[in-house]
Structure 1
Amino acid sequence: MTASREIELKLDCDAADLAALADHPLLHSPDAGHVTLHATYYDTDAGDLRAAGLALRVRREAGPDGERVIQTVKAGADGAGLFDRAEWERTIPGPAPDRAALDDTPAGDVLKEVGEPEIAARFSLVIERAWRPVRYGASAIAVTLDRGRIETVRGDLPVCEAELELTEGDPADLFALAQALCETVPLRLGALAKGERGEAVLAGRLDRPSKADRVALDPGTTAGEAFAAVARACLRHLRLNEAVFLENRDPEALHQIRVALRRLRSAFTLFRPVLAADPRAATLRDEIKRVTEPFGRARNLDVFLDETLAPEIERRPEEAGLHDLRALLGAERERAYAAVLAILDGAAWRGLVIDCVAWIEAGPWRGPAGTPEGDRAAEDFAADVLERLRRRIKRRGRHLDRLDAEERHRVRIEAKKLRYGAEFFAGLYAHRRKDRKRHKAFVAALAKLQDHLGALNDIATAHEIGAGLAPPERGAADGFPDPAAALFSAGLVAADVEARTRSLLAAAAQAHEDLLEVCPFWR
């Protein structure tokens, strides 16, 4: 069976937004239709298909022309918004999976390799789908508006999303249509396919923060393809944690949002030779940094309250000023979180995320205006980038224990870039056992240096937070918390954490030396 390509842009919304889209003038079509979908996803008990990046779905479609049952195998996708993946479809006679029809698909190969185990239902979907074909730009786009639910043994999950599927033309037109729709309807870039959502519900991780996934890179990948894969992974990481933070304000989700943003900005920097001919790259990078600047304040307060102040209170619970400091900074954190939520809820932010993925997938850097660097082998490109970063850390980290806080911070930033680069390019060095071992050893040594530099940075941040407290204007008689006591306690905390500086500096200097002794995995 020959695979077809499904290029589909997913946009999350709520029921009111879906109704607005149904009446949107850009989506009017004389050929509009409606269908009810009942779908069930299947896998082995061991999850062999999931492990291979595949999904098996059997879907019953009840429409005006009658009913049919379609069995589909989909290849996984690690991007955000744009789902460009292979799929194998066949009409089958009944509601159960047709094992014979799987023989010409990757699912059939996987099942044979693991001994032809039984496959069983994982979860089901019930979807009311309105669809209409539209023309936009030079492309034909199938627009579907889905509303329904995912049914699992762990509970149901509402589904409300729009899908724009390219049936003919240029993927850039998908994004142009999405951007036009976003001007009047608050849509967010989708990060999970329905099957992925069902699995997340079963695993109990839909509402939990998630760390960055490994970027899948093959040895034959070009530098341009590597950048696109890395950037997609960063946006996916961002959107998964953004959804969690908007739902429950989880501090770890905020932290992972910031990690995703730093990784994305680092990707722009590491791949600068690939993007050099497209000025939009620098514009997007700077805009991401500008818009998300308030996120840093919220995260710094999280770290201070939970990792610096909390242990101090545990050690000296009788110190009333520490409790006043916690209350004072707790109120500051609430204001900082409100600022973050205001950004994430804003149209400018939603539009910026869609602009990013549109540029990644269809920006000028991918066309004739791109640089020759984009066509280089990713492995050669990675070696040059990583070697340059290592040399920079070697030079800037000399006498690390004698550097001032600003100089150490610069070393820390370079170490982060090298760490992200090592993670981004890991897939290129995963095919030989020797390379995997060298990569693991290098990243471990780099992580130690980062940990010590991060602890030193937390100390500097603690000083900044204490120095940033407003001077007392009233006493405890004016109400709780007492600003004077809080200010005094902030000084005590700063003095306590400062006492750790000498040992951390020595540890960081040693970690720097140890890193330089580890054989670089890219050589």
Structure 2
Amino acid sequence: MSEPRETELKLECDRLDLAALGGHPLLQGEGDGKEDAQGNGQGEPEAVLSTYFDTPDEALRAAGLTLRVRRRGEARLQTVKAEAGAAAAGLFDRPEWEVAITGDAPDPAAFADTPVPRILKDAKDATLEPRFTTVVMRTERTVPYGASRIRATLDEGRVETQAGDAALCELELELESGTPADLFALAQALAETVPLHLGALSKSERGFALRDGRLGLPSKAGSVALAEDASAGDAFRRIAMACLRHLRLNEAVFLASRDPEALHQIRVALRRLRSAFSLFKPVLAHDPRAASLAEAIKGATEPFGRARNLDVFLETTLPEERARRPDEPGLEELAARLATERDRAHETVSTILTSPEWRGLLLDLLAWLHTGPWLGEGAGPARDAPARDFAAAVLGRFRKRVRKRGRHLAKLDPEARHRVRIAGKKLRYGADFFASLFPDKTARKRHKAFSAALSDLQDHLGALNDLATAHAVMASLAEGPPGTAASGPAVFAAGLTAADNEARTRDLLAAADEAHGDLVDAKPFWR
């Protein structure tokens, strides 16, 4: 049986902007106030209550499924969706099964043709219980755009859990007929007048995150599941989408809290994304748009490095120096001075993340991933090659690069060490990206050892880079226009910190050299 699928673009905004979207000329479509065959309103706001169910040990969630019953007036609609691995920033393309039922509890007969019965059969306790609910005022319209028909859904409400509530304010664009290019073009046209951010969480993910106390916290990159028969092009798109999701999850956290870890994860997501462009260069070589997008991302986010460097200094370097020199009076002034600079740097990051240019760039990237020229007939053979073969070739090439650049690492100058670190990062991200393509027991064991050796090398090189960065931060204190440079005690404290850090360099170089040797000896998991 073929699986029915839902292709939906989720965008987030605030309440006032959602109200503006309600009156937007492009969203005044074919609605006449009547309902369609599924009971969906065509233009009039309507209360919608959705209850999400799972077993006591959440067997459905563990299997990547959600089960909900939606109440809309007198109508009840039961929906099963595949969630795990399907969602990325903005675009949700996933199997979906919907059946009208008569009650508020799940109807087993209505999910008989879905994966749910198999999961419940193996569950310790197959009882389905409510986990949380969403309550929204929903407005739906079907709008023509280009050669397509697109259902626009405006939701304003909240998700309710035992742990508390969270607001929901979303625009969803679902392709009913036509081409994905029209779906993205409509989103881009709307974003020109209304601030829209790519959505990263489905309603069910938001509900579980809120209930588990994870909503609003920074998140690390998740694993990327690649199908055994995936092509290199399939792999690139899935990896890039995962990077976008990682980015957007942490963007939202940083904008709400200025959390340094969220900023760090934003930069990790961006490095992973740019590494994906580099690793898949043969796949993208025939599309010049790839290089321009990668450069645009790099250029827009260069100021993020200054903010992160100040975070590291204030969160790590300075506390260590205070522990070494608890009686040094200049350290307090140094901390206050750099905290002010960090506030300015964080404000710069926030300004970029909320700018129309940045939001537009992410929408352009998402559209290009699904409709760009790299998907057309002019692409080279690398795009359609088996992802496993492509991955093995790429990982082998970057392993040789790290091995060659890292020879006699302890004797390299900082610039040469930096090149080793960059090549190592690309190899590390590639090892993470492609791990699922090599699932047998031996490959998994080798992957674990290889990743550990690579992580060890990166940790030591990263520590050396942090020392160099701290030195640059401290050197900047004595610079600047008259009246802005730091005072004597702060500069003196900065000098002491720099001297203490330099004393660590020799040990870190020796450790990095040893870690490089361990990496060279580690067996490649892709062979």
Which TM-score applies when normalising by structure 1?
A: 0.96
User: Does residue 54 of structure 2 align to residue 43 of structure 1?
Assistant: yes
The AA in structure 2 aligned to 1:75 is: A
The AA in structure 2 aligned to 1:468 is: S
In 2, distance between residues paired with 1:370 and 1:206?
A: 41
Deviation at 1:370, TM superposition (A): 2.0
Q: Which residue of 2 aligns with 1:13?
A: 13
Deviation at 1:397, TM superposition (A): 0.5
How big is each residue's C-alpha offset from its partner over 1:342-366, in whole Å with a ceiling of 9 and x where there is no partner?
Answer: 1111111111111111111111111
Does structure 1 conserve the Cα–Cα contact (< 8 Å) formed by 2:147 and 2:179? yes
Deviation at 1:113, TM superposition (A): 2.3
In 1, distance between residues paired with 2:43 and 2:482?
A: 67
Deviation at 1:112, TM superposition (A): 1.4
Does structure 2 conserve the Cα–Cα contact (< 8 Å) formed by 1:13 and 1:161? yes
In 2, distance between residues paired with 1:280 and 1:97?
A: 47
Deviation at 1:115, TM superposition (A): 5.3
SS of 1:393 mapped into structure 2: helix
Q: 1:81 to 1:473 in 2, by over 3 A?
A: closer
The structure 2 residue matched to 1:54, chosen from 58, 62, 65, is 65
Deviation at 1:3, TM superposition (A): 3.0
Percent of counterpart pairs with the same letter? 61
Q: Which residue of 1 aligns with 2:499?
A: 495
In 2, distance between residues paired with 1:216 and 1:473?
A: 52
In 2, distance between residues paired with 1:109 and 1:218?
A: 22
User: Does residue 434 of structure 2 align to residue 425 of structure 1?
Assistant: yes
The AA in structure 2 aligned to 1:51 is: A
How big is each residue's C-alpha offset from its partner over 1:250-270, in whole Å with a ceiling of 9 and x where there is no partner?
Answer: 000000000000000000000
The structure 1 residue matched to 2:43, chosen from 33, 46, 64, is 33
Q: Which residue of 2 aligns with 1:74?
A: 81
In 2, distance between residues paired with 1:378 and 1:425?
A: 8
Q: How much is the aligned-residue C-alpha RMSD, in angstroms?
A: 1.5
The AA in structure 1 aligned to 2:76 is: V
Q: What runs of 5+ residues in structure 1 fail to find an aligned partner? A: none
In 2, distance between residues paired with 1:401 and 1:107?
A: 56
In 2, distance between residues paired with 1:411 and 1:482?
A: 35
Q: 1:482 to 1:516 in 2, by over 3 A?
A: closer
User: Does residue 366 of structure 2 align to residue 357 of structure 1?
Assistant: yes
Q: Which residue of 1 aligns with 2:39?
A: none
Deviation at 1:435, TM superposition (A): 1.1
The AA in structure 2 aligned to 1:90 is: V
How big is each residue's C-alpha offset from its partner over 1:237-289, in whole Å with a ceiling of 9 and x where there is no partner?
Answer: 00000000011110000000000000000000000111111111000000000
183-192 or 308-317, larger mean C-alpha shift: 308-317
The AA in structure 2 aligned to 1:19 is: A
SS of 2:215 mapped into structure 1: coil
SS of 2:87 mapped into structure 1: coil
Deviation at 1:149, TM superposition (A): 1.1
33-42 or 145-154, larger mean C-alpha shift: 33-42
Alignment of 1:43-192 (within 5 A): 43-62=54-73, 67-76=74-83, 77-114=86-123, 117-192=126-201
The count of residues paired between Structure 1 and Structure 2 equals: 514
Q: 1:134 to 1:218 in 2, by over 3 A?
A: same
Does structure 1 conserve the Cα–Cα contact (< 8 Å) formed by 2:87 and 2:93? no
Q: 1:482 to 1:453 in 2, by over 3 A?
A: closer
The AA in structure 2 aligned to 1:260 is: A
Q: Which residue of 1 aligns with 2:315?
A: 306
The AA in structure 2 aligned to 1:415 is: G
Q: What runs of 5+ residues in structure 2 fail to find an aligned partner? A: 32-41
In 1, distance between residues paired with 2:401 and 2:450?
A: 16
Deviation at 1:2, TM superposition (A): 5.5
Deviation at 1:131, TM superposition (A): 0.9
The structure 1 residue matched to 2:510, chosen from 503, 506, 518, is 506
SS of 2:223 mapped into structure 1: coil
Q: Which residue of 1 aligns with 2:274?
A: 265
Deviation at 1:158, TM superposition (A): 1.1
SS of 1:499 mapped into structure 2: helix
Does structure 2 conserve the Cα–Cα contact (< 8 Å) formed by 1:210 and 1:256? yes
SS of 1:243 mapped into structure 2: helix
Deviation at 1:471, TM superposition (A): 4.4
User: Does residue 293 of structure 2 align to residue 289 of structure 1?
Assistant: no
The AA in structure 1 aligned to 2:329 is: A
Deviation at 1:459, TM superposition (A): 1.0
How big is each residue's C-alpha offset from its partner over 1:50-79, in whole Å with a ceiling of 9 and x where there is no partner?
Answer: 1111100111112xxxx2111110011231
In 2, distance between residues paired with 1:78 and 1:390?
A: 31
In 1, distance between residues paired with 2:240 and 2:397?
A: 21
Which TM-score applies when normalising by structure 2?
A: 0.95
In 1, distance between residues paired with 2:55 and 2:450?
A: 37
435-444 or 28-37, larger mean C-alpha shift: 28-37
Q: Which residue of 2 aligns with 1:234?
A: 243
Deviation at 1:36, TM superposition (A): 2.0
Deviation at 1:472, TM superposition (A): 8.9
The structure 2 residue matched to 1:378, chosen from 378, 381, 387, is 387
Deviation at 1:163, TM superposition (A): 0.5
Q: Which residue of 2 aligns with 1:331?
A: 340
